[in-house]
Amino acid sequence: AQKITQTQPGMFVQEKEAVTLDCTYDTSDPSYGLFWYKQPSSGEMIFLIYQGSYDQQNATEGRYSLNFQKARKSANLVISASQLGDSAMYFCAMREENYGGSQGNLIFGKGTKLSVKP
């Protein structure tokens, strides 16, 4: 079974509008972290935002916010006021704390390609 599911292979959004990129996850670990990364066409992976399983509030970082619904196991990324430079692949990833506190690896979804239209 997929641990991270991103059901939208591609999304379009008009410049200056908001867009939501979906991510659902599957874990039985009570402690986990959820991350979003951006991958522009140049290939690098850029960290955007983090949400912890015990965090009471949704994470926000500038124009990025995370709509965290723990009971539904979803962690959707919301980008407000889209810009042309937001066109990229977006990956949702999870780390589970099932290694006695050691650094666990990130598990990635397949990504969503966002295209911002002028």
The minimum distance between CB 14 and other proteins, in angstroms, equals 26
The minimum distance between CB 95 and other proteins, in angstroms, equals 5
Q: Which residues bind other proteins (CB under 8 A)?
A: 31-33, 35, 37, 42-47, 50, 52-53, 91, 93, 95-97, 99, 101-111
Query: Quick one: residue 16, left, alpha or beta (phi over 0 = left, psi -120 to 50 = alpha)?
Result: left
The minimum distance between CB 6 and other proteins, in angstroms, equals 9
Identify which of residues 4 and 82 has a Cβ nearer to other proteins in the complex.
4
Identify which of residues 80 and 105 has a Cβ nearer to other proteins in the complex.
105
